[in-house]
């Protein structure tokens, strides 16, 4: 599943090229997770003012309204001057005066939703409960710790929930917890200020590094220019069950939490 770094890398790979473009045609294929919310032809002639990211959503700001795009479980975007014919799993083509933005989504858990404004019900339903951005100035260590003190759930699930801090998905939660030396099964409310501060720093460091090297390509992720990511090659614990910990040489362990795989070092990460 594309996580925050993959979505941000995707944004960076086409935002400059589509900004300023006029919409010529919007072609929608098979139904996605949610309906578009408007007639496709109503967007013809509108100008793309820019591309932002909120959590795992991409926001294409138009001169009237905005499009919210989500990559779902297996989606990816391409931006090309002259794309070939749409394939079986190509479910959106946004043809513009500067190129075509295409959504490829084999499992169709992604979404393309129009909203008149970011405060409208269509957008609020998707964005309204998201936590703070982990790479933004609003993500402060002490506030993070205070919020953790109110949560009885284990820390890995709190991170995945996205209500305190958004976009820390499965790969990066495992990596940040390793960097902070915290066992994934530790109750959030039991984490001290010092450990919460280390986790805060680890979240920012891990996500920033992932963005820097193009995100993670575990199966078929690539950005809007078709380029793969390389963070998985640097992972300390994720996907390394049975291999030696890079810090202490103990075998990395794996377990299931909330139907997701969790990887950790039983020595370096304390309960």
Tokens of 146: 């205070």
Q: Which stretch of DSSP H or E encloses residue 194? A: helix 193-212
* Full DSSP string of 115-169: ESSTTSHHHHHHHTT--B-TTSTT--HHHHHHHHTT--SBHHHHHHH-SSBS---
**In whole angstroms, how far apart are CA 185 and each of 182, 226, 231, 236?**
8, 37, 24, 18
CA distance 215 to 208: 10
Catalytic entry in 56, 78, 151, 156? 56
Catalytic entry in 33, 204, 253, 260? 260
**In whole angstroms, how far apart are CA 145 and each of 55, 83, 142?**
20, 48, 5
CA distance 63 to 84: 28
Is 2 part of the annotated catalytic residue set? yes
- Give the orientation angle of helix 193-212 with respect to helix 170-180, to 10 degrees: 130
CB 116 within 8 A of CB 51: no
Q: Which of 238, 265, 235 is nearest to 251 (CA)?
A: 265
Catalytic entry in 2, 5, 134, 184? 2
* Active centre residues (catalytic): 2-3, 56, 260
């Amino acid at each position: 599943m594309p996580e925050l770094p993959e979505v941000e890398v995707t944004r960076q790979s086409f935002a400059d090229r589509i900004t300023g473009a006029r919409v010529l045609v919007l072609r929608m294929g098979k139904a996605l997770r949610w309906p578009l919310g408007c007639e496709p032809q109503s967007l013809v002639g509108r100008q793309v003012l820019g591309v932002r990211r909120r959590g795992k959503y991409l926001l294409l700001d138009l001169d009237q309204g905005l499009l919210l795009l989500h990559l779902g479980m297996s989606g990816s975007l391409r931006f090309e001057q002259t794309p070939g014919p749409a394939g079986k799993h190509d479910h959106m083509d946004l043809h513009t005066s500067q190129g075509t933005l295409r959504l490829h989504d084999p499992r169709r858990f992604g979404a393309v939703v129009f909203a008149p404004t970011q405060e409208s019900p269509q957008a609020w339903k998707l964005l309204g409960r998201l936590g703070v951005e982990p790479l933004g100035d609003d993500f402060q260590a002490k506030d993070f710790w205070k919020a953790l003190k109110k949560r009885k759930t284990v820390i890995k699930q709190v991170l995945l929930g996205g209500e305190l801090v958004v976009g820390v998905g499965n790969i990066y939660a495992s990596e940040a917890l390793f960097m902070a030396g915290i066992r994934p099964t530790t109750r959030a409310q039991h984490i001290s200020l010092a450990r919460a501060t280390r986790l805060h720093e680890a979240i920012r460091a891990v996500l920033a590094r992932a963005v820097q090297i193009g995100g993670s390509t575990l199966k078929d992720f690539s950005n809007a220019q078709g380029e793969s990511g390389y963070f998985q090659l640097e992972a300390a614990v994720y996907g390394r069950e049975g291999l030696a910990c890079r810090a202490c040489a103990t075998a990395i362990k794996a377990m299931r939490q909330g139907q997701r795989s969790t990887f950790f070092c039983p020595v370096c990460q304390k309960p």
